[in-house]
Amino acid sequence: MSEVTTKTLVEAGITRQGVFVRDDGTPYPGGPCISQAVIRGDTVYLCGVVTPEIWRNPSNPTFGDVQAQTKQVLQRIDELLADAGTDKSKLLTAQIWLADMSLFAEHNKAWNAWVDPRNPPVRACVEARLTHPELLVEIMCTAAR
């Protein structure tokens, strides 16, 4: 299989960053056809972000505990926001999916250490079965620029 690359697409005032598609516009086998970030005007929409370890080392049977995964996800969110010309101080919303709500307190420690306390977004946190059994957290955000 060829290496997975991402593209930036711009059309009709919408910028799509980190698009996972092949040169012919079709998705990679087994992968989703998604953008990591979509920018429309002064609003940035991020996809659901999971630990990058699932892409870096998919054969690894574990991706860390919920605090480690949350920190990795938040670091990736910082990178995606910076690429889009904004930062966590401009977050508007956050939707969080935890594989098990008993992990909420541990997840929240990492979240509270990261979030801008002067500009916290509105947030929902629910339990859901995620796409890989070792994934414990997924976060999707919307931010202003």
Ordered DSSP codes for 12-74: TTEEEEEE---TTSPPPTTS----SEEEETTEEEEPPB--THHHH-TT-S----HHHHHHHHH
44-93 pLDDT, tens digit per residue, is: 999 999 998 887 776 776 789 999 999 999 999 999 999 999 999 999 99
CATH of the domain at 46: 3.30.1330.40
CA-based diameter of the chain, in Å?
A: 46
d(CA 131, CA 53): 14
Q: Look at residue 11 and tell me if it is in a domain.
A: no
How many structural domains does the chain have? 1
pLDDT of residue 74: 98
Quick one: pLDDT band at residue 10, thresholds 50, 70, 90? confident
Q: Look at residue 3 and tell me if it is in a domain.
A: no
Q: Look at residue 95 and tell me if it is in a domain.
A: yes
Confidence check: pLDDT of 33 > 90: no
Range(s) of the domain holding residue 108: 41-144
Q: Look at residue 22 and tell me if it is in a domain.
A: no
Quick one: pLDDT band at residue 1, thresholds 50, 70, 90? very low
Q: Look at residue 20 and tell me if it is in a domain.
A: no
Task: Compare 16 and 117 and report the one with higher pLDDT.
Answer: 117
Q: Look at residue 115 and tell me if it is in a domain.
A: yes
Q: Look at residue 107 and tell me if it is in a domain.
A: yes
pLDDT of residue 2: 41
Rounded percentage of the chain residues whose pLDDT exceeds 90 = 65
Q: Look at residue 48 and tell me if it is in a domain.
A: yes
pTM listed for this prediction? 0.88
Token pair recorded at residue 138: 């997924």
